């Protein structure tokens, strides 16, 4: 669940982030967002840790350029899979699993349980 206790008010940088609720998202957009192995890996890694504990900087092991990674985060925000907020210099992440599960039952489960060996 969400943990806001130790989080300060949003900075200007966070306020400029676009967030979309899963209820506004089409199945087309959700499938397109998840039809990318790097985005599914981000989702899986976020599903494995508590909300708001993974800063964006901790995804630098993924085999893509930093600008590409930013694009992937943006795509995930725009289909209601990712919530981001800044805390000091760090941008923290939350997988919006309960909301997304309610909108698309079962879909996120397939991604989280995907075998790593099937990745490209």
CB of 44 to its own copies, least distance (A): 11
69 binds its own copies (CB under 8 A): no
Contact set for its own copies, span 99-118 (CB under 8 A): 104-107, 109-111, 114, 118
What is the SS3 assignment for 49?
coil
Contact set for its own copies, span 14-33 (CB under 8 A): 26-28, 31-32
13 contacts 86 by C-beta, under 8 angstroms? yes
Distance in angstroms (rounded) separating the CA atoms of residues 27 and 68: 23
Half-sphere exposure (Cβ direction) of 13: Cα atoms closer than 13 Å: 10
Residues that bind its own copies (CB under 8 A): 26-28, 31-32, 34-35, 37, 40, 104-107, 109-111, 114, 118-120
């Amino acid at each position: 669940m969400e943990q806001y206790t130790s989080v300060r008010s949003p900075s200007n940088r966070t306020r400029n982030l676009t967030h979309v609720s899963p209820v506004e998202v089409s199945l087309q957009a959700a499938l397109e967002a998840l039809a990318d192995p790097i985005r599914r890996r981000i989702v899986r890694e976020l599903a494995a840790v508590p909300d708001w504990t993974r800063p964006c900087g901790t995804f630098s092991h993924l085999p893509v350029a930093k600008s590409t990674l930013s694009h992937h985060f943006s795509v995930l925000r725009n289909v209601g899979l990712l919530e981001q907020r800044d805390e000091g210099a760090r941008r923290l992440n939350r997988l919006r699993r309960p909301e997304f599960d309610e909108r698309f039952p079962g879909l996120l489960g397939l991604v989280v349980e995907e075998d790593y060996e099937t990745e490209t």
